[in-house]
């Protein structure tokens, strides 16, 4: 069965600190080094910022909601004594990447880790789909991520260390009915990142695609499927980030978080493409809000 999520409490035995001592091999060192996290105002991005700051990294935080970024920046400064740079930008608008990187350069910041996390999805039938929204999804999930990657990666290659984590999704493994643009955008992220992983690895740099399954964030409210989390087994953003950093430590080209998500991704490889995509209709068919809130 595809997308058969099961509940699992991820083993928390591996302390973040020890992960980072080893991940330091990827980044050379983590304290006093700078990471840029997009989509840091909530969910997985905010957790990346917290965990990285907890290990001494300075953070460039970007998203549209400046109030949330400022709150997070204060929290990180107070709790972890790290430096932060808040850059409020809409990454689906032209020139946003240039403006962010200009602010970074103006502060003489050398980035050693990029977390391309900002993204959104939409669940719905073709007739209820806003074309402009789909184009802005392509702009954010694909174009901005591509531009940031190509603008940051050469610097990492020159340093001979560092990493890029591109947040894809477990839906990157297959086409998904009722989420065609979102699943295709994440397939792009997965293929793009894996190809760059192969190119970069001999230069000491890791490019990893992170493929979470259902994660308890604002994602489903934004995607128009608020009842989804009540029906699906899920992970916390903290669990996803911890697994991601363990994967980075192992210099993985991609990482599916949650073993049940991994199994479903394998099932999608074995079955015919027709079977895979028609099966997704059962799991992703939009329902009325009332239906989604049931069970
Ligand atoms: N939650 C899941 O189940 C799940 C599963 C697989 C993959 N993912 C992926 O994980 C990533 C993070 O999502 P999340 O689950 O943490 O959801 P989230 O809580 O909704 O976070 C999305 C982040 O992206 C930012 N963002 C959205 N549109 C933006 C824009 N135009 N410009 C700049 N920033 C923008 C949002 O900030 P502002 O609104 O402040 O701009 C927010 O910080 C996404 O790429 C998503 O596709 C999520």
Residue-wise pLDDT tens digits, 233-258: 899 999 999 999 999 999 999 999 99
- What does each C-alpha distance from 105 to 21, 102, 282 come to in angstroms? 28, 5, 48
Residue 11 domain-assigned? no
Q: What angle do CA 120, 148, 141 make, to 5 degrees?
A: 20
Nearest to 239 by CA among 50, 79, 44: 44
Cβ of 119 below 6 Å from ligand 1: yes
Residue 103 clears pLDDT 90, i.e. is over it? yes
pLDDT of residue 152: 98
- For position 229, what pLDDT does the model report? 80
Query: Does 148 reside within a domain?
Result: yes
Q: What is the mean pLDDT of residues 37-49?
A: 98
For residue 107, the 8-state DSSP code is: T
Q: Is residue 171 helix, strand or coil?
A: helix
Over residues 206-214, the mean pLDDT reads: 97
Q: What distance in angstroms lies between residue 116's CA and the mean position of ligand 1's atoms?
A: 10
Instruction: Spell out the alpha helix ranges (H) of the chain.
Output: 16-27, 43-54, 66-80, 96-106, 131-138, 145-159, 180-200, 219-222, 228-231, 237-249, 259-270, 273-284, 289-293
SS3 88: strand
Other Cβ atoms closer than 10 A to 146: 16
Q: What angle is formed at CA 194 by the lines to CA 238 and CA 218, rounded to 5 degrees? A: 30
Q: What is the pLDDT of residue 79?
A: 97
Give, in degrees to the nearest 5, the angle at Cα 157 between 155 and 159: 70
Q: Which domain holds residue 35?
A: 16-293
DSSP 277-293: HHHHHHHH----HHHHH
Instruction: Identify whether 150 is part of a domain.
Output: yes
Structure confidence at residue 83 (pLDDT) = 98
The dihedral over CA atoms of 292, 187, 196, 48, expressed in degrees to the nearest 10, equals 0
CB neighbourhood size of 118 (10 A): 26
Residue 42's alpha-carbon distances to 91, 149, 176, 238, 264, in angstroms, are 15, 21, 25, 12, 27
Q: Which residue has the tokens 């991704």?
A: 265
Q: Is residue 10 part of a domain?
A: no
**Inter-residue contact 243 to 255 (CB < 8 Å):** yes
**What CA–CA distance (Å, rounded) separates 123 from 181?**
10
Domain count of the fold of the chain: 1
Select which of 30, 182, 254, 262 is catalytic.
182
Q: What CATH number corresponds to the domain at position 62?
A: 3.40.50.720
Give the per-residue pLDDT at 282: 87
Ligand 1: which of 67, 118, 227 to mutate, judged by most atoms within 8 Å of the beta carbon?
A: 118
Mean predicted lDDT score pLDDT of the chain? 89
44 close to ligand 1 (CB < 6 Angstrom): yes
Is the pLDDT score of 25 beyond 70?
no
182 part of the active site: yes
pLDDT band at 27 (very low <50, low <70, confident <90, very high): low
User: How remote is the CA of residue 34 from the centroid of ligand 1, in Å?
Assistant: 21
31 in a domain, yes or no? yes
């Amino acid at each position: 069965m595809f997308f058969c999520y099961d509940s699992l409490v991820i083993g928390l035995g591996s302390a973040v600190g020890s992960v980072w001592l080893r991940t330091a091999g990827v980044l050379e060192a983590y304290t006093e080094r700078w990471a840029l996290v997009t989509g840091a105002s909530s969910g997985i991005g905010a957790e990346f910022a917290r965990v990285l700051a907890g290990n001494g990294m300075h953070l460039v935080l970007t998203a549209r909601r400046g109030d949330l970024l400022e709150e997070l920046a204060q929290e990180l400064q107070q709790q972890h004594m790290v430096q932060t740079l808040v850059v409020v930008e809409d990454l689906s608008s032209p020139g946003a990447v240039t403006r962010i990187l200009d602010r970074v350069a103006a502060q003489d910041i050398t980035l050693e880790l990029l977390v391309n996390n900002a993204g959104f999805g939409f669940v719905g039938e073709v007739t209820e789909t806003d074309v402009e929204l789909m184009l802005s999804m392509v702009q954010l999930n694909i174009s901005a991520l591509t531009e940031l990657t190509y603008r940051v990666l050469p610097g990492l290659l020159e340093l001979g260390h560092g990493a890029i984590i591109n947040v894809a999704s477990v839906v990157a493994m297959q086409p998904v009915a009722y989420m065609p643009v979102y699943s295709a955008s994440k397939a792009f992220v997965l293929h793009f990142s894996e190809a760059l992983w192969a190119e970069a690895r001999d230069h000491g740099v890791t490019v990893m695609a992170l493929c979470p399954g259902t994660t308890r964030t604002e994602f489903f409210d934004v995607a128009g499927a608020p009842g989804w989390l009540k029906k699906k087994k899920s992970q916390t953003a903290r669990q996803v980030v911890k697994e991601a950093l363990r994967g980075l430590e192992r210099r993985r080209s991609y990482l599916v978080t949650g073993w049940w998500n991994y199994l479903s991704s394998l099932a999608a490889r074995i079955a015919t493409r027709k079977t895979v995509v028609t099966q997704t209709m059962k799991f992703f068919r939009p329902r009325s809000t009332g239906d989604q809130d049931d069970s």
